[in-house]
Structure 1
């Protein structure tokens, strides 16, 4: 699956709320890979580790725990590739 995460405005929170991804098989294992597009990074000084190293987890973990998204610049987004 190819997913888009978009941030329209600056988050009012220091840490952006987790991005829960539903609709995946809860028992299957998935690899989550960030697909860089142009300008990388964002407002935060550090970004989640899964932005540079693919993350492996179950569909249940993605739906319940989710991913810690990066703090992006307003009106920007990113693509994430999820494979099983």
Structure 2
């Protein structure tokens, strides 16, 4: 019984992986934005390298049209903590 359960789970995992792999990732062919991974990376960069007072302001060092922070302050602090890890 455990062997059949294992084979069923393995087949399900492989099938799910195959289905997901058939589609492009978020931001595919959308230069220079590139999708959600780039947004998270950029938010960590903003929160680590700029003072809190500049996180939500458009400036030469924080272009809000390129993945500007658009979530509440608690989420920005989460990006800050992840950026220092």
Q: TM-score range by the shorter chain?
A: under 0.3
In terms of Rg, which structure is larger? 2
Query: Which has a greater percent of helix?
Result: 2
Larger RCO (CA under 8 A, 6+ residues apart) = 1
TM-score (norm 1): 0.23
TM-score (norm 2): 0.23
Query: Which has a greater percent of strand?
Result: 1
